[in-house]
Amino acid sequence: MSKTLILVEATADSLRKTTLPGITFGAQVAAANGGGFDLALIGTGVTKAAASAARYGAAKVYVVDHAAFEHALAESYATAIAEIVKRSGATLVAGASSSTTKDVFPRVAARLGAAMASEVTGVVDEKTFKRPMWAGNVTATVELTTPVKVCSVRATEFDAPAVVGATSPIESVDVLVDLGALRTKFVGLKEIKSERPELASADRIVSGGRGVKGPDGFRLVEQLADTLRAGVGASRAVCDAGWAGNDLQIGQTGKVVAPNLYIAVGISGAIQHLAGMKGSKVIVAINKDAEAPIFQVADYGLVADLFEAVPQLVAAIKQL
């Protein structure tokens, strides 16, 4: 019987919602092998958020709360996770795929001598998982054969976890890290603040592609998004051209999203873009080329010039 340790990311007073599906993954592994799962919170001031984490049915919530963990450095976080693994006896370390776990988990795997599967989309049993390959064109079933294993989990493939009646015990773990002795150091964070919904958790997303022809055309995409109170995304072509920030890129080398509604405006539907959005519940495509591959995945397609269709759509929605 194995034990899973799930890293849940937290700010000083709350859990990061986008990382909670990792807990559902932990519960599924536990259901598959008859074992349990623990949660780990690491950061500065995160003890406050531990009470929220204790509502999801974990055997225990481990908390590393110290000023040294204010910023997620792979070296320091790997040290903390290795210490928690020792205490919990976990044989699988997992967490939602994020910029933090993309950085931290490979180091955790190296430190624990563990095999790692990234972007896991399904559980077969406690050592066998499904994950996408070749930009999502193939789903591979992989078996991790090391005694301890590490997985990052694609959050869009797992539901938010259910709150259970019982409360998990919370254990504080002291981990000593000398930041000055690390080979990496935190220099700064340039945070992009936006009034619009965050892409990872947005219910609706309007995304623009090269068809918008420039930054002015991209404003139409933003207008439609604002009318729908949606998040704004972009294809890589748009980000590479500098018409939108790189943080908006959706796809294989951008963000993976699965909103209830995804509207692709002037996007052709290259496989690398589809890899980031084809899990969306309803896909709408606006493209003047009826043969564009995006129509193969779209639930609703509008063959039209976006410069005419989008302003009409915005005006019509405002009438509602």
Which residues would be at the binding site for ligand FAD (CB under 6 A)? 209-211, 235-238, 249-254, 266-268, 270, 272-273, 276, 286-289, 292, 305-307
CA gap 61, 58 in Å, rounded: 7
Q: How far is the CB of 5 from ligand FAD (least distance, A)?
A: 30
CA gap 21, 122 in Å, rounded: 12
Give the type of residue at 53. Answer: A
Q: Which residue, 119 or 126, has its beta carbon nearer to ligand FAD?
A: 119
Q: Which residue, 134 or 186, has its beta carbon nearer to ligand FAD?
A: 134
Q: How far is the CB of 239 from ligand FAD (least distance, A)?
A: 8
Q: Which residue, 135 or 160, has its beta carbon nearer to ligand FAD?
A: 135
CA gap 153, 25 in Å, rounded: 7
Write the CA distances from 85 to 3, 16, 79, integer angstroms. 10, 22, 10
Q: Which residue, 60 or 278, has its beta carbon nearer to ligand FAD?
A: 278
Q: How far is the CB of 194 from ligand FAD (least distance, A)?
A: 19
Give the type of residue at 77. Answer: Y
Q: Which residues contact 178 (CB under 8 A, 6 or more apart)?
A: none
- Please, are residues 93 and 5 in contact by the beta-carbon 8 Å criterion? yes
Q: Which residue, 73 or 237, has its beta carbon nearer to ligand FAD?
A: 237
CA gap 184, 188 in Å, rounded: 12
Q: Which residue, 95 or 251, has its beta carbon nearer to ligand FAD?
A: 251
Q: How far is the CB of 199 from ligand FAD (least distance, A)?
A: 12
CA gap 60, 4 in Å, rounded: 11
Q: Which residue, 107 or 210, has its beta carbon nearer to ligand FAD?
A: 210
Q: Which residue, 48 or 213, has its beta carbon nearer to ligand FAD?
A: 213
Task: Scan for tokens 């963000």, then name that residue.
Answer: 255
Q: How far is the CB of 297 from ligand FAD (least distance, A)?
A: 13
SS3 183: coil
SS3 110: helix
**Helix H segments across 209-288?**
215-227, 236-240, 271-277
Q: How far is the CB of 271 from ligand FAD (least distance, A)?
A: 7
CA proximity to 277, closest of 295, 301, 255 = 255
Structure tokens at 36: 């349990």
Q: How far is the CB of 296 from ligand FAD (least distance, A)?
A: 12
Q: Determine whether 122 is exposed, middle or buried from the number of CB atoms within 10 Å of its CB (0-12, 13-18, 19+).
A: middle
**Nearest residue (beta carbon) to ligand FAD:** 251
Q: How far is the CB of 187 from ligand FAD (least distance, A)?
A: 26
